[in-house]
Amino acid sequence: MAQTPAPFPAKPLHFIVPFPPGGTLDVLARSVSNELSPALGQTIVVENRPGASGVIGAEAVAHAPADGHTLVIVSNTLVTLPALRSDLPFDIFKDFAPVIELGGTPTVITVHPSFPARDLKEFIEAVRKAPGGVSYNSPGIGSPPHIAGELLARAAGIALVHVSYRGTQPAVSDLVAGHVPVMMAPLNAVLPFIAQKRLYPIALTDAARTKYLPDVPTLHEAGIANMPAVTSWFAVLTTGGTPPPAVARLNTEIGRILRDPNVQERLSAQTFEIKGGSPQELADLMRRDAAINAKVVAEAKIRAE
C-alpha cells in the first residue's frame, strides 16, 4: 500500500539568514516570511546565522531534516563558493533543494567624481592610461560585483585591480570618500549618491536596463558583447531531498507573495526587481552561474579570504 505523504507544513518553519541583520537578505527574508506565515498557517522563525561568507547558516539548512520546514535565503555568491573553497561542508547541488528565485538588484559600474570618465568609452580609455591599471572595490571576494569586474577586465582588455571589502556599506563609504575610484556596486547601495551626483554610473553589468536608471546602458549596449551578464540575484532554498509536494507548495505560496502589489511596492523602494519562476528554473540558473564563476575564479586565480 502506498504511504500517504505527510501534510505540509506540519510544524513551525525556520528561515535562516546566513548574514547579519539589516542587510538585503535579512530584509527580503523578513518581508517574505511575514506574508508566508499566514499563507501556510504556521509560525516562521527568522534566524540570523552569519559567518564564513554565509557558509555557517547554509550548512544548518543543508543538514536539517529533509521535510521543507527549514529554509535559507541565499545570493549567487553561494554558487561561487565551490570554486573558492575545497572544504565546504555541503554540496550546493545535492544538499539543497531550489525553491524559487526571488529576484535581484542590478550591478552598476560606479565612479567617484574625480575619475575622468562618464561613459564606458571614457572609462576604458582612463583605465588603459593608468599605470598598473585602476583599483575597484566590491562587497567581498567571489561576490557578483567582484566577478563582474574580473569579467569586464578580460572582455575589455583592461587592468582592473580588485580591492575586497567585508560588506557593501564599507565599500560604498570608501568610494564616496574617494579612497577607491571605481566600484562594481549593487544599485540599491549607490542610487542615492548617484541622484546627488556624488557618484556617477557608467554602465550596468546586467542583461537589460533598469527602470531606476533608464538612461544608463548595459555593457552589451555600450559595446562589450563578449561578456556574460552579471546580476546579484537572491533565492530561497530548502534541504536537499525534501519531497517535491512540499517544495511545490513553498514555490506556489512565495510566488503569490512576490506578485502582491504591496510587496512589490516595498521591494521596489530598494531597487529590487522581482523574478519568481519554478524550482527547475532556479536550479538551471545556479548551475549556469556556477560554471561561469568557476571559470573566472580559475583564470583570475581568486582565493578565498
Helix (H) or strand (E) holding 105: strand 96-105
Instruction: State pLDDT tens for residues 18-36.
Output: 988 877 888 899 999 999 9
Same domain, 242 and 172: no
Confidence of residue 305 (pLDDT cuts 50, 70, 90): low
Peptide bond before 9: cis, by omega within 30 degrees of 0? Answer: yes
Same domain, 239 and 95: yes
Instruction: State pLDDT tens for residues 72-128.
Output: 999 998 999 999 988 999 999 999 999 999 999 999 999 999 999 999 999 999 999
Same domain, 241 and 94: yes
- The reply to whether 36 falls in a domain is yes
Instruction: Round to whole Å and give the CA distance between 13 and 38.
Output: 12
- The reply to whether 20 falls in a domain is yes
Strand ranges of the sheet holding 273-274, from the earlier edge strand across to the other edge: 44-48, 13-17, 70-75, 232-239, 96-105, 273-274
- The reply to whether 289 falls in a domain is yes
Q: Is 70 exceeded by the pLDDT of residue 5?
A: no
In the chain, % of residues over pLDDT 90: 77
Same domain, 132 and 184: yes
All 3 cell numbers of residue 80? 561561487
Same domain, 123 and 82: no
Instruction: Round to whole Å and give the CA distance between 128 and 282.
Output: 38
Query: How many Å separate Cα 233 from the centre of its chain?
Result: 4
Q: Is 60 exceeded by the pLDDT of residue 2?
A: no
Same domain, 135 and 271: no
- The reply to whether 6 falls in a domain is no
Same domain, 17 and 100: yes
Q: What value does the mean pLDDT take over residues 256-277? A: 91
Residue ranges making up the domain that contains 120: 114-204
Q: Which CATH number does the domain housing residue 149 bear?
A: 3.40.190.10
C-beta of residue 118 within 8 angstroms of C-beta of residue 273:
no
Phi then psi dihedrals of residue 49, to 5 deg: -130, 75
Same domain, 101 and 119: no
- The reply to whether 217 falls in a domain is no
Tell me the whole-structure pTM to 2 decimals.
Answer: 0.88
- The reply to whether 221 falls in a domain is no
Give the single-character DSSP code of 78. G
Q: How many domains does the chain have?
A: 2
Same domain, 89 and 127: no
Same domain, 133 and 101: no
Q: Which CATH number does the domain housing residue 60 bear?
A: 3.40.190.150
- The reply to whether 1 falls in a domain is no
Final residue belonging to a domain, choices 204, 223, 239 = 204
C-beta of residue 180 within 8 angstroms of C-beta of residue 136:
yes
Confidence of residue 196 (pLDDT cuts 50, 70, 90): very high
In this prediction, residue 1 carries a pLDDT of: 42
Q: Is 50 exceeded by the pLDDT of residue 11?
A: yes
